[in-house]
Amino acid sequence: MFATFMSAFASLVEGLADLLGPLFHDSATAAAIVLFTAFVRLLVHPLSRASARGQRARAALQPRIAELRKKHGKNPEKLQKAVMELHAAEKVSPLSGCLPSLFQLPAFFLLYHLFSNSRIGDEANSLLDHQLFAAPLGDRWADALGDGGVFGAQGLVYVGLFVIVAVVATFNYRRTKRTMAAGAAANAVASASGDGQPQVPGMGAITKVMPLMSFFTLLTVAFVPLAAALYVVTSTTWSAVERAVLYRDMPGALPAAAVMG
């Protein structure tokens, strides 16, 4: 059954490539993957908007949560239960920010599987030989390095993707640093009045590492098939723009999945 599904998915990619062929010629399949990614992100966009609304709702609950900390500060279990009951009463899910990323995973793994196997069902996988410029969509960066090096015809394709990822990661890094600084400043003011959140052990290290997480996308692009890397690059770029728009009026609020594609 899975083989039949993969054959249908391969036919979908090939059909999109045929439609885009007159415009993109030999890179039509790569363009089809970008278009497929955009379609997935459009489907997930309502969840992203819901996540932003949830973040605003959670921010609005902070004064009431501060009151609960005052009341139950010496009883962590009772405090946790009270906070969960408050979220339930206000219909706010602490995990809503993770949903957009989770719903994209099947699409990523479909592409990864499709371009990692030499056969789809009983037939040879002809998609592996389709290219983005000079680089086959079934190859990885190591293959490009072995055929011309970093600045060979294939290597330059990856250089271009790495540049895009680095620019997006730098944008996310700066935005996450500003967001976390604003949140820390707000908590410091609240702490001065006795309303701030207690420091969680290890949070300092997390605060230092979290802004750098976006750069780990470079590793993903380097080690997955080029087709899956195209999905990651397109989705990550989409996410950066989407979050900048959805969270533009929330300088102290960090999306729960801020570093996820």
Give residue-wise pLDDT tens across range 176-191.
777 666 655 555 544 5
Torsion sign (Cα): 220, 223, 228, 229: positive
Local structure of 206: helix, strand or coil: helix
Give residue-wise pLDDT tens across range 151-207.
999 999 999 999 999 999 999 888 877 766 665 555 554 454 444 444 444 445 555
Q: Which residues are CB-contacts of 96 (< 8 A; sequence separation ≥ 6)?
A: 50, 51, 54, 256
Structure confidence at residue 117 (pLDDT): 92
Say if CB 212 and CB 206 are below 8 A apart. Answer: no
Say if CB 40 and CB 100 are below 8 A apart. Answer: no
Say if CB 130 and CB 240 are below 8 A apart. Answer: no
In the 8-state DSSP scheme, what is residue 223?
A: H
Q: Which residues pair with 124 in a beta bridge?
A: 119
Q: How far apart are the first and last CA of the chain?
A: 29
Say if CB 226 and CB 130 are below 8 A apart. Answer: no
pLDDT at position 235 over 70: yes
Percent of the chain whose predicted confidence (pLDDT) is above 90:
47
Percent of the chain whose predicted confidence (pLDDT) is above 70:
79
Structure confidence at residue 251 (pLDDT): 52
Local structure of 124: helix, strand or coil: strand
Tokens encoding 92? 């706010």
Structure confidence at residue 258 (pLDDT): 44
Instruction: Compare 187 and 227 and report the one with higher pLDDT.
Output: 227
The CA distance from 144 to 147, in Å, is 5
CB atoms within 10 A of CB 171: 16
Give residue-wise pLDDT tens across range 86-134.
777 766 666 666 777 788 899 999 999 999 999 987 889 999 989 999 9
The CA distance from 99 to 40, in Å, is 13
Say if CB 177 and CB 246 are below 8 A apart. Answer: no
pTM for the structure as a whole: 0.80
Say if CB 244 and CB 120 are below 8 A apart. Answer: no
CA dist 211 to 33, 172, 185, 218, 238, Å?
28, 7, 17, 14, 18
Which alpha helices (DSSP H) does 73-196 contain, by range?
76-89, 99-114, 141-145, 153-192
Burial of residue 239, with CB atoms counted within 10 A of its CB: 0-12 exposed, 13-18 middle, 19 or more buried: buried
